[in-house]
């Protein structure tokens, strides 16, 4: 508020108010609830019954062995020799955050398109990741 700002100016305080960023793991887990496709897979993996399996589409049932849970995160592996990767639900903000962290952030080394894709695809999976 204006009184607080006036006090800061008078005291020579330079402060920035920022909103906390949700930890990545929690942001991913929360986003699954908004993605009906992955939410159904998680429901099945948490309670693998004939009923929860029947609620999945035929292609999803055929690929269900590729999915597993790692705590609250859904993991995906193409085959048994593939390293499981964290599934990223259909959340544009979350995907943009990951691309930013892997491409633009100082720790990412400002990688180009190909190296950013390679780095992301080692850790994460989402349909059409390359696009």
User: Is 109 a member of any domain?
Assistant: yes
User: Is 10 a member of any domain?
Assistant: no
Which CATH number does the domain housing residue 50 bear? 1.10.340
CA–CA dist 102, 96 (Å, integer): 10
**What is residue 18's predicted lDDT score, i.e. its pLDDT?**
39
User: Is 6 a member of any domain?
Assistant: no
Q: What is the pTM of this model?
A: 0.75
**What is residue 64's predicted lDDT score, i.e. its pLDDT?**
96
**What is residue 106's predicted lDDT score, i.e. its pLDDT?**
63
Q: Where are the alpha helices (DSSP H) in 12-112?
A: 24-32, 36-46, 50-54, 58-63, 92-103
Q: CB burial class (10 A; 0-12, 13-18, 19+) of residue 27? A: middle
**What is residue 21's predicted lDDT score, i.e. its pLDDT?**
57
User: Is 33 a member of any domain?
Assistant: yes
CA-nearest of 127, 43, 54 to 85 is 127
User: Is 81 a member of any domain?
Assistant: yes
Q: What percent of the chain has pLDDT over 70?
A: 77
User: Is 1 a member of any domain?
Assistant: no
- pLDDT tens by residue, 14-25: 444 434 456 999
User: Is 57 a member of any domain?
Assistant: yes
Angle 38-23-21 (CA atoms, 0-180°, nearest 5)?
A: 115
Q: Which of 4-18, 39-53, 107-121 has the highest mean pLDDT?
A: 39-53
Which range, of 10-19, 82-91, 105-114, 118-127, averages the lowest pLDDT? 10-19
> Strands 67-70, 73-76: parallel, antiparallel or unpaired by DSSP?
antiparallel
Domain that holds residue 28: 22-125
User: Is 106 a member of any domain?
Assistant: yes
**What is residue 103's predicted lDDT score, i.e. its pLDDT?**
78
Backbone φ, ψ for residue 38 (5° rounding): -75, -30
CA–CA dist 23, 34 (Å, integer): 17
> How far apart, in Å, are the Cα atoms of 20 and each of 23, 61, 91?
9, 38, 19
- pLDDT tens by residue, 41-90: 999 999 999 999 999 999 999 999 999 999 999 999 988 899 999 999 99
Judge whether 32 and 39 are in contact, CB under 8 Å.
yes
**What is residue 125's predicted lDDT score, i.e. its pLDDT?**
94
Q: How many domains does the chain have?
A: 1
């Amino acid at each position: 508020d204006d009184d607080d700002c006036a006090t800061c100016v008078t005291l020579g305080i330079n402060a920035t108010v920022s909103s906390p960023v949700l930890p990545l793991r929690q942001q991913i887990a929360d986003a699954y609830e908004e993605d009906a496709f992955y939410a159904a897979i998680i429901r099945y993996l948490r309670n693998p019954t004939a009923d929860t399996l029947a609620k999945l589409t035929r292609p999803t049932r055929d690929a269900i062995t590729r999915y597993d849970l790692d705590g609250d995160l859904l993991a995906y592996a193409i085959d048994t020799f593939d390293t499981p990767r964290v599934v990223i639900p259909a959340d544009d903000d979350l995907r943009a955050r990951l691309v930013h962290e892997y491409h633009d952030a100082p720790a990412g080394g400002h990688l180009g398109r190909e190296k950013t894709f390679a780095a992301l695809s080692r850790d994460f999976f989402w349909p059409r990741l390359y696009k």
